[in-house]
Amino acid sequence: MVKHTATSVVTIDRYIIEQEKLHPEATGELSAILYDLALAAKMIANKVRSAGLADILGATDNENVQGEIQQKLDVLANEIIIKALDHGGRLCAMASEEEPDIIDIPERFRCGKYCLLFDPLDGSSNIDVNVPVGTIFSVLKKVTRGSRGEMEDMLQPGRRQVAAGYVIYGSSTMLVYTTGQGAHGFTLDPSLGEFLLSHPNIRIPDTGRYLSVNDSYRDLWDEPVKGLMEYYRGAGGARQPMNTRYVGSLVADFHRNLLGGGLFAYPSNKNSPKGKLRLLYEANPLAFIVEQAGGAACDGSGRILDIQPTELHQRVPLYIGSKSDVDAATSMLGGKRPPVAGIGAVGA
């Protein structure tokens, strides 16, 4: 595993400012969004850490737009992010896994030129059993006229993201983000209440040790997917067999594979022809990060970041991680969609 070590104490706020200097045209608005997200992450971390003590474990009585029972922490994390970012004047709208439609900025607050899309709590089924969960976020620039955000602002291909990141509430709380200048990891020092740079310029190994897939759907996969999983497991000696590691939290599986090399796969299956994971606030942000770290992400027929979204909560099959392993998925699943070089293409 590539050793990521930081040599001096750098807070995330300081690093964001340094990164901002790489963009001469920067106004500081995107930086302010990242500060606010770091604050929201600390607040959610506090709730996750003490969930077992306060009455915030377990499920609510309501279902979200995904048709899933909302966990209390899903709702809490969702509210924390909305409240931390709705008044700063940098966003024109938000979209959340937990909300059916886009979230308008309240009339009493000024609008800005960015959109924030997020999965407030990823891996919710793991909360009550103390398995790592996470938060995932994606930032797009507004493309429509007028001050208020519209659905068209949200439905942009992932290559147009200006920032993306995730927080993992694990043995330590880490925040990993990119603005297109590499992927950088920060670890929360609880004694200071500060995220400190711990993993500058993360690079994912080109071939993976770990395969993260839920094999219980095996009988629902089509033959090419079954063949691909056999390949990853070393059938025919075509490659070193991968070890299976599947936490059931996308952020936790992705983070381990990002640092140590590996592939996360959530294929389409007969019951879910588009797979389970959502394009706008799960696949796209993690695809931006992994490409910035030298990895790749596809849906089996082409690059995740080139998909033109049509719905806010649309799902997408996902193969993400070490580049040579993702390339194997594209070739073995008959990757047909040609890569699309676009204006403002990120990492194209």
For ligand AHG, the closer CB: 231 or 264: 264
Could you tell me the strand order of the sheet in which 210-212 lies?
A: 243-244, 210-212, 262-266, 318-321, 296-298
Edge-to-edge strand list for the sheet holding 194-199? 103-104, 91-96, 114-122, 133-141, 161-169, 173-178, 183-189, 194-199
Q: Which is nearer to ligand AHG, 11 or 60 (CB)?
A: 60
Closer of 119 and 299 to Mn ion (Cβ): 119
Which window, 58-66, 93-101, 110-118, 224-232, contacts Mn ion (CB under 5 A)?
93-101
- 3-class SS of residue 292: helix
Q: Which does 276 bind (CB under 5 to 8 A by kind): ligand AHG, Mn ion, none?
A: ligand AHG
Query: Residue 189 binds which one of ligand AHG, Mn ion, none, with CB within 5 to 8 A depending on kind?
Result: none
Q: Which of 20, 36, 86, 122 binds Mn ion (CB under 5 A)?
A: 122
339 binds, among Mn ion, ligand AHG, none (CB under 5 to 8 A by kind): none
Shortest separation between residue 124's beta carbon and ligand AHG, angstroms: 4
Half-sphere exposure of 56 (CA within 13 A, CB side): 16
Residue 248's binding partner, choosing from ligand AHG, Mn ion, none, with beta-carbon cut-off 5 to 8 A by kind?
Answer: ligand AHG
253 binds Mn ion (CB under 5 A): no
Q: Quick one: 97 or 306, whose CB is closer to ligand AHG? A: 97
- The distance of closest approach from Cβ of residue 312 to Mn ion in the complex, given in angstroms and rounded to an integer, is 14
**Contact predicate 326/298, CB 8 Å:** yes
Instruction: Indicate which of Mn ion, ligand AHG, none lies near residue 323 (CB less than 5 to 8 Å, by partner kind).
Output: none
Q: Is 97 in the site for Mn ion (CB under 5 A)?
A: yes
Residue from 119, 153, 291, 299 binding Mn ion (CB under 5 A): 119
Q: Which residues make up the interface to ligand AHG (CB under 6 A)?
A: 68, 97, 119, 122-124, 214, 248-250, 276
- Residue 249, binding choice from ligand AHG, Mn ion, none, Cβ under 5 to 8 Å by partner class: ligand AHG
Q: How many residues sit close enough to Mn ion to count as binding (CB under 5 A)? A: 4
Neighbours of 104 (CB within 10 A): 15
Q: How far apart are CA 318 and CA 148, in angstroms?
A: 32
Q: How far is the CB of 163 from ligand AHG (least distance, A)?
A: 20
CB closer to ligand AHG, 46 vs 214: 214
For residue 77, give the DSSP letter.
Answer: H
Q: Counting every residue, how long is the chain?
A: 348
CA separation, residue 66 to residues 51, 70, 96, 119, 338 (Å): 24, 10, 11, 12, 30
Residue (of 227, 175, 206) closest to 13 by Cα position: 175
201: left (phi over 0), alpha (psi -120 to 50) or beta: left
**Minimum distance, C-beta of residue 98 to ligand AHG, in the bound complex (Å):** 9
The smaller minimum CB distance to Mn ion, of residues 225 and 250, is found at 250
Closer residue to Mn ion, CB minimum distance, 16 or 73: 73
E runs forming strands in 170-281: 173-178, 183-189, 194-199, 210-212, 243-244, 262-266
Selection from 138, 154, 29, 70 nearest residue 104 by Cα: 154
Q: Which residue from 260, 181, 227 is spatially nearest to 328, judged by alpha carbons?
A: 227
Angle among Cα 197, 211, 135 to the nearest 5 degrees reads: 40
Q: Which is nearer to Mn ion, 121 or 242 (CB)?
A: 121
Q: Closest-CB residue for Mn ion?
A: 122
Using CB under 5 A, list all residues that contact Mn ion: 97, 119, 121-122
